[in-house]
Amino acid sequence: MTTPDIRCVLAARSLNGERPCWDADRRRLFWIDVREPALHCFDPATGEDRHWEMPSWIGPYGLTDDGAFVALRTGLHRLRFADGALDFVAPPPFDPRRFIFNEGDCDRQGRFWAGPMFVPLKPEGADGKGPEALPFWRWDGGATRDSWRPGTIPVKTANSLAWSADGTRMFHSDTDRKQLWVARYDPDRGTASDPALFADLSDEEGGPDGVAVDADGFLWIALYGGGKLLRLDPDGRTERTIPMPVQYPTMPAFGGDDLRTLFVTSACWSIPEAERDGRPLEGNLFALDAPVAGIPSVRMRVPSG
């Protein structure tokens, strides 16, 4: 098996690059920097990277025709790309002094899901690492906390979220527990049930972070701190391993006109600041040619409410 050529396509030097998403209509790759909060828009044809700064930590987002809905620590906001205006939509379904939105995505029907992570504003006063189980939430529209519907999947750290091409399997990674989970998903009702362990990665260095699904139903997952990508078959077995030129890859996403380019974000915040100059690739955006195509991303369906 030939090791693919991995190219640095953007010297982003992001603290916490995450959540790449290819928008086919715009022919752009969107991604975020969580800790220097901004939503970015990268043009692989020109190398230009545009961004919109955010007032607080940014988590998952859903693209729309004229902008995006972004989940910030302070709640859900609507961003208009034309003028950069940011309008408050709904508060988070948790105490924002203790939690942030960490990861999420839209299901194949465009419903927006988001999951939290325990990141208290004053970590020195935190009681351990917070609750043992946290749910993902689905936003059903409206401007109140009650517009978020809790799911049935408990996670320690809500990381990654992806669906199979037919929308009947919902995957997520639990980084702290070094596990990847799968649940049955009802595309008509937008509900998940019967979560089951998909892959135990406790023998791997680093923790499972973001995932992407390809056209063959295989999952690509970044190992944060492990410096590599794994491709898992539909039964959760490792089919191949791809070493990355950085220790902290965060998430892969398929892009390009044929969805055969695998983009990978990375982070450098875990590296002591004094050592970062000596590791200039950490935090950059990478690309490699994938052996199969991915499945297209889905625009967010904005519910009335």
Q: Which residues are catalytic?
A: 209
Bridge partners of 304, per DSSP, are none
**Residues 257, 27: contact at Cβ < 8 Å?**
yes
* Tokens found for residue 251: 């998430």
**Residues 222, 251: contact at Cβ < 8 Å?**
yes
**Residues 59, 114: contact at Cβ < 8 Å?**
yes
Q: How far apart are CA 89 and CA 77, in angstroms?
A: 5
